[in-house]
Structure 1
Amino acid sequence: MKKVQAIILSLLMIFTTFSVEASASSSEEMRAAWISTVYNMDWPSTKNNQAQQKKEYIDLLDKLKGSGINTVVVQVRPKGDAIYKSSINPWSEYLTGTQGKDPGYDPLPFLIQEAHNRGMEFHAWFNPYRVTTDTTDLNRLSSNHPARKHPDWVLEHNNGKYKALAYNPGLPEVRQHIVDSVSEVVKNYDVDGVHFDDYFYRDGMNDNATYNKYGNGMSKSDWRRENVNSLLREVKASIKNINPNVEFGVSPAGIWRNKSSDATGSDTRGQESYSDHFADTRAWIRQGLVDYVVPQIYWPIGNSAADYSKLVSWWANEVKGSNVDLYIGQGVYKRGQADYSYQDVAGEIKQQVSLNRKYSTIKGSMYFSARDIVNNSQLQNDMKELYSSPSNQPKWIKENNNWYLIKSNGSRASNEWVLVNGKWYRFESSGRMLENQWFKDYNGTWYWLKSGGAMASNEWVSLSGTWYRFESSGRMLEHQWFKDYNGTWYWLKSGGAMASNEWVLVGGKWYRFEPSGRMLENQWFKDYNGWYWLKSGGAMASNETLIINGITYKFLQDGRLV
C-alpha cells in the first residue's frame, strides 16, 4: 500500500499509521478482503433494517480484523446504482429490496468510519459498466436509473445462462458518467481508495455501430482496449484532482496473455484479459493508469492450466521498475470445487502467502470474499498466524512537549504527511508534529492541524471567531462556494474566511449572508438603507422590476427598493 497500514500503541490508544510518501517495505503489507454487496453476498443479508445492517457490518469487521485484515474493499456501486446517497445513481436494491428506494440512512459514512475506527483502510469498489445481471428489460430498473433515461448507453451481453445489460464502453458520455459517479464519492466521502473489478467488455456485446462511429481507423480490438484505457486515465485524473491521497486500483483477470499468444506472456492456458475482456494490464502499468493492480489468481499452486506460482512470478516481474503496487487477488471461496487439486483452502492460502512474500514487488493480498474468511474457522486461525506481526509497528514519542513518530524502519517521520487511524498528521523537517497551526504546501494549499495534530477534514473549524471550511482532502476552501447537505450555500472569501453578516460581491453580483453564513435567497432583507430582494440563487435584485407574490416592485441600481 502507498498508504501503509500500521498499529501504534501509545498512551493506551491503538492507532493505525499510513505513510503517503514512503514506499512500501516487506513489513508494510496489504491484507484486504473484498466485501460484495451484489446479490447481498457478503453484506447486507437483511433489507430495510438499518440497525441490523449496521450490527452485521460491525460483526463482519471485527471478525476480519481478528483475522489480520487491514483493508476492506466494499462494493458501493454493484449495478449502476449506489449504496450511498447519490445525485447520479439510484439507491441499490440490495439495501431495501427495491432499486431507487431510500433506505432511510446513508450507509457509506458509517461503513467508512467503522473501518477507520479499527485502523482499516476503506476502498470504494465500483463495477464500472454493469447495469443488470439477469435481465434486458430496462423497465425493471428504477425510473431514475441513468440506463433507463439513456437506453442508447447500454448493450446486451451474455452473463452465464442469462442475457444482461452493461454500459457501452465505447461511448464518451458513458465514460463521463462513470467518471462523475466516482468523483461524487471521492468528493463527498472519506475513502482511502477507489477500486474497479474485472468486468470490462463482456461476451456477446454488439458494439459495431459505436465502432463505426468512433473507431478512427483502429482495429476493433485495439479500439476496445483504448476505450478501457481512456476510462482508467480519466478516472485517475479526476480522483487525483479532487484528492491526490486517494489511491486508484483495478483487479483484472489473472492472465494478461498466454505465452502461446505472446512470447512475453505467462506460461498458462486460460482466458486472457487482453483479448477476452480487452483489458491491457501491461499498458496500465507502463502508462501509470492505476496506483495498484490486483490480478485475480484464483488457481492453486501446481494447477496444470494456470499455476499460481508461475503467475505470481510473472506479475512480480511485470511491475518491476514501475510506480504501480502489486497485490495478489486470492480466492478463498473455492473450497472443494472440482477445478482444485486441494480441499483445504486454508492450507493453500498459507502456501500462497509464503510464496508471495518471496517477491519484493508483491505488496500483499486481497481475498475474495469476506464471508469465506469468516465462515472458515481454520482459515481464520491460519491467517491470525500468518498475520501475527502487525504490518507496521511504529510508535509515538513525546520530547519537550512535542510529539514525534518513529516509523517501522526506525526513522522519524519528517517533512511528510502520515495517516493515523483515518486522520492525517503533518510532521515538519525536525520531525515535530504540527498542531494548532496552519500548514501551506508547495501548491499554495492551506491546511489546518487541530489540537492533537489531526488535519481538519470535511468539516467547519472556528478560529478566533472566524469559520473556515475544509474539504475531505484537507484543503481549505477559499474564493469559492460551498453547499452543505441541507442545500444551504456559503461563500468562502479570499483567505478562507466564511462570509458572515455582510454583503459580498461575487462575479459582479451582490449576495447577502446571515451571521450563520447562510446565503439569503428568495427573501427580503432590510438594513439601515432600506429593503432589498435576494432572488433565487441569491443574487440581489438590481436595476430591475420584479413581480413578487403578485406585486410589482422596482429596484435601483444599488439594489434598494424604490
Structure 2
Amino acid sequence: MHKIFFLLILLMTGITGLFASEPPATEVRAVWLTTNYGLDWPRNRTSLEVQKRELIEILDSLKSHNFNTVLFQVRGRGEVLYRSRIEPMMSLIAPAGPGQPPFDPLAFVVEECHKRGLACHAWVVTYPLGNNTHVRSLGAQSVTKKNPSITKQFQKEWFLDPGNPRTDDYLVSIVQEIVTGYDVDGIHFDYIRYPDNRGRFPDDGMYRLYGKGKTRDEWRRDNITRFVTRIYDIVKSVKPWVQVSSAPLGRYRTLAGNGVGWTALETVSQDAGKWMMMGKHDAIYPMMYYKERLFYPFVDDWLNHNNGRIVVPGLGAYQMIELGWSHRDILNQVDYTRDKEVHGQAYFRAENVLSNTKGILRELGSYYRYPAKLPPMTWLSDTIPDSPNDLRAEKNEEGLFELSWEGKGSARVTYNVYRSETDTLSLDRAEKLIAVGLREPQFRYRAEENDKAYYYYITTSDAYRNESVPCVPVFFYHSAIEK
C-alpha cells in the first residue's frame, strides 16, 4: 500500500508540478546561511568592505526571489559572529580599517535582513567544539581551556557534555547574550544532540552521578530535553516573541522498519517530537536530506507530533551536487509539503540554491512567484493588531508609486501590502501580495503604467505574526497620461 502511495505521489509531482500553480500566501521560505569555513559567507578573507558587499548580495538575491527567512550561523564550534564576552570572534572576519569600530556581523545581518522584510534567526551550533587543531587555534579563549570540566573528547573531536548541568548554564549565557543584545527573530539550534553512534560518548561519570535508575538512552534523551525546556523558558521570559526552533535529524524515529540506523530519537538521543508536544519549541526544521520512502512518511510523522507548531522540512539542495539529484527531486518535495499543508521549506544551503544549481532557482521562481507571509505563533499570542490608518497614494518626483500610512509606533510591528482590481480582498490570495515584512509605514515601487486601476490595502502584523484586517483602501489609476 505504501509503495503504491509513494508511486502516485512521484507520478503526480514529477509529471505535472501540480501544486506549483497556487502558491500559499503564508509560507516559510528559508535558507541556512552557513558561515562555518565560509561556505556561504564570507568568501573574501581580507577586506571587510567586500565581506559586507557579499552579504548584501546574498540578501538582495533572497529578497528578489521571495524568500522570507534567513537562518544565519552565528555560532560555529566554540566561536561566534557577534561581539561576545564569552567566546571569540570567528577568524574569518576581516579586520576593520584604521579608526573604524569593530565589525559586528550579527548586528549587520539583522539590520540588513529587516530592511528587506526578511526574518533573521540566530543559528547556534550547540554541542560540537571542533577537532584538536581547531581547539588549539582558539588558544586560551577556547571553552576547553576556560571551562574544561564541561567538555569531553570523543572520536578526535571535542564536545560540550550534555550530561553535565553546568553545560546548560554555559549555553544559556551565550543565548542570553544574543537574545538581549540583538533584535533577532529566532534562536535556531543545530547539533542539539549527542554525537552519532560510531562509538561510546565518554559520560560514565555523569551517568553514575545523575542517571538515577534510568537507562543510559533515557538519561541522554532527558539531558537534551532538560536543556531545551530551560532555554525555551528563558528566551520567552526575555523576549516572548523570539521563535525557538531546532534542526533535528530528518527522521524522528523508525517507522515500520523504515529508516533504521539514523534517527533523531534512537540514534542521537534527540526527542524532538516530544519538545513540540511539550510546547517547548515554536518550530522544527528537520534535516530531511533524503528521497522517496526516506522522506514522505517522515514528513507525515513530524506533522503528527507538531502540536500546532510550525514544521518546515529542510530540503537537501546540496544533494544535487553530492548525490547527483535532479532539481525535480527537490521540487517533488516542495509539492508534497504544500499538498500536506506543511508550513514551508528550508534549503541547505544558501549557495546551492542561489547559484541556481541544476536550474533549481529558476524552477523555484514559479513556486515563489509572489511574496509570502510568515505563519502566526498563535500559541504565544492570538491578539489581532489594529489596522493602519490614513493610507495615501501618489506618484512621486522620481516616477515611483508611493504608499504611506499612519503606523502603529511599535518597533516589532511590520506591514504587508496588497493590490486588488476589486474592492474586496482575501488575505489568503498570494497573488494579491506585493510586499511583506515592511518595517516602515511606507512603500515605493515602479508600477507598470498599464492604464489599469487598483485598490491598495495595508495590514499590520505584530511580533507574533498575527495579522490585522485590511485598512480602508486607496484607489489609484496607473497611467502615463493624467486622467
On whether the aligned pair clears a TM of 0.5, the verdict is yes
* Structure 1 letter corresponding to 2:334: V
Residue of structure 1 in register with 2:164 after alignment: 171
- Note if 1:371 corresponds to 2:351: yes
Q: Which amino acid aligns with 2:356?
A: N
Q: Does 1:310 align with 2:303?
A: no
User: Which residue matches 2:273?
Assistant: 282
- Letter of the 1:244 partner, please give it: P
> Which residue number corresponds to residue 241 of structure 1?
237
Which of residues 62, 70, 74 is equivalent to 1:64? 62
Question: Does the aligned pair in 2 maintain the 1:123–1:195 contact within 8 Å?
Answer: yes
Match for residue 339 of structure 2 among 350, 353, 358: 358
Q: Residue 142 of structure 1 corresponds to which residue in structure 2?
A: 139
CA distance in 1, matches of 2:314, 2:459: 36
* Contact map agreement 1:167 1:174 (CA 8 A) in 2: yes
Q: Provide closer, same or farther for how the CA distance between residues 254 and 392 of structure 1 changes in structure 2, counting only shifts above 3 A.
A: closer
Distance in 2 (CA, whole Å) between partners of 1:424 and 1:310 is 44
Distance in 2 between the 1:26 and 1:195 partners? 24
Q: 2:308 aligns with which of 323, 333, 357?
A: 323
Counterpart amino acid of residue 232 in structure 2: K
User: In the alignment, residue 298 of structure 2 is paired with which amino acid?
Assistant: L
**CA separation of 1:424/1:71 partners in 2, compared to 1, >3 Å: closer, same or farther?**
farther
| Partner Cα separation in structure 1 for residue 229 and residue 44 of structure 2 | 37
Match of 1:421 among 434, 438, 456: 438
Rounded Cα–Cα distance in structure 2 between residues aligned with 1:212 and 1:392: 49
Residue from 225, 248, 252 that aligns with 2:248 = 252
Query: How much has 1:351 moved relative to structure 2?
Result: 1.6
| Matched residue, 1:37 | 35
Radius of gyration: which is bigger?
Answer: 1
Change (3 A) 1:80 1:424: farther
Amino acid at match of 2:281: V
Structure (1 or 2) with the greater helix fraction? 2
Closer/same/farther in 2, CA of residues 273 and 151 from structure 1, 3 Å limit: same
Which residue is equivalent to 1:391? 372
Q: Secondary structure at the match of 2:141?
A: coil
Structure 1 partner of 2:150: 153
Q: Whole-Å Cα distance in 1 between the matches of residues 244 and 368 of structure 2?
A: 25
Shift of 1:114: 0.8
Sequence identity of aligned pairs in percent? 28
Aligned-pair CA distance for 1:179? 0.9
Q: Distance in 2 between matches of 1:33 and 1:139?
A: 31
Question: What letter is aligned with 1:268?
Answer: G
Q: Distance in 2 between matches of 1:171 and 1:350?
A: 42
Distance 1:227 1:424 in 2: 46
Q: Is the 8 A contact 1:67 1:381 kept in 2?
A: no
Q: TM-score, normalised by structure 2?
A: 0.71
Structure 1 residues 350 and 433: alpha-carbon distance in aligned structure 2, compared to 1, 3 A threshold: closer
Structure 1 pair 124/217, CA: closer, same or farther in 2 (3 Å)? same
Alpha-carbon contact 1:157-1:164 (below 8 Å) kept:
yes
CA distance in 2, matches of 1:399, 1:373: 37
2 CA distance for matches of 1:398 and 1:333? 47
Give the CA deviation at 1:255. Answer: 1.0
Structure 2 partner of 1:214? 210
CA distance in 1, matches of 2:459, 2:366: 34
Shift of 1:207: 0.6
* 2:55 alignment partner AA: Y
- Which digits, 9 at most, give the CA deviation of each residue in 1:95-146, with x for residues without a partner? 259xxxx9931111111111111110000000111111x3278544231222
**Displacement of 1:399 after TM fit?**
6.4
Match of 1:334 among 312, 319, 326: 319
Residue 263 (structure 2) pairs with residue 272 (structure 1): yes
> 2: distance between equivalents of 1:143 and 1:331?
37
Matched, 1:227 2:223: yes
- Residue 407 of structure 1 and its aligned partner are, at CA, apart by 8.4
Task: Note the C-alpha offset of 1:270.
Answer: 4.2
SS in 1 for 2:32: strand
Q: Separation in 2 of the partners of 1:186 and 1:145?
A: 22
Taking only aligned residues, the RMSD between alpha carbons, in angstroms, comes to 3.1
Distance 2:183 2:407 in 1: 25
Deviation at 1:221, TM superposition (A): 0.8
Distance, in Å, in 2 between the alignment partners of 1:199 and 1:64 is 27
**What are the Cα deviations for residues 393-423 of structure 1, in whole angstroms up to 9, with x where unaligned?**
9x96626986697888747xxxxxxx94347
**CA distance 1:424–1:220, shift in 2 (3 Å):** farther
Per-residue Cα deviation, 1:203-246 (whole angstroms, up to 9, x for no partner): 43211111111112211111111110011111111111110110
The answer on whether the counterparts of 1:33 and 1:368 sit within 8 Å (CA) in structure 2 is yes
Q: C-alpha separation between the residues in 1 aligned to 2:417 and 2:63?
A: 22
How far apart in 1 are the matches of 2:136 and 2:203? 22
Separation in structure 1 between the aligned mates of residue 321 and residue 328 of structure 2, nearest angstrom: 13
2:53 partner amino acid: K
Q: Distance in 2 between matches of 1:422 and 1:38?
A: 30
* Change in 2 beyond 3 A, CA 1:103/1:385: farther
1:181 aligns with 2:178: no
3-state DSSP class of the match of 2:92? helix
Answer yes or no: is the 8 Å Cα contact 2:252–2:301 preserved in 1.
no
Q: How many residues align?
A: 373
Q: Distance in 2 between matches of 1:323 and 1:423?
A: 31
Distance change in 2, residues 1:382/1:173 (3 Å): same
What is aligned with 1:381?
A: 362
CA shift, 1:148, in A, is 1.2
CA distance in 2, matches of 1:217, 1:367: 41
Which structure's residues are more often strand, by fraction?
1
Q: 2-side partners of 1:318 and 1:234: how far apart?
A: 20
Q: Distance in 1 between matches of 2:459 and 2:277?
A: 37
Question: 1:152/1:348 Cα in 2 relative to 1: closer, same or farther (>3 Å)?
Answer: same
Where does structure 1 lack aligned partners over 5 or more consecutive residues?
1-24, 262-266, 412-418, 426-431, 435-562
SS in 1 for 2:31: strand
Q: Counterpart of 1:94?
A: 92
* Highest RCO, 1 vs 2 (Cα 8 Å, sep ≥ 6): 2
The change in CA–CA distance for 1:136 and 1:216 in structure 2 (over 3 A counts) is farther
Greater shift after overlay, 179-188 or 146-155?
Answer: 146-155
CA distance 1:78–1:422, shift in 2 (3 Å)? farther
Paired with 2:101 and 2:161, the residues of 1 have a C-alpha distance of 29
CA distance in 2, matches of 1:207, 1:392: 44
Q: Distance in 1 between matches of 2:89 and 2:312?
A: 31
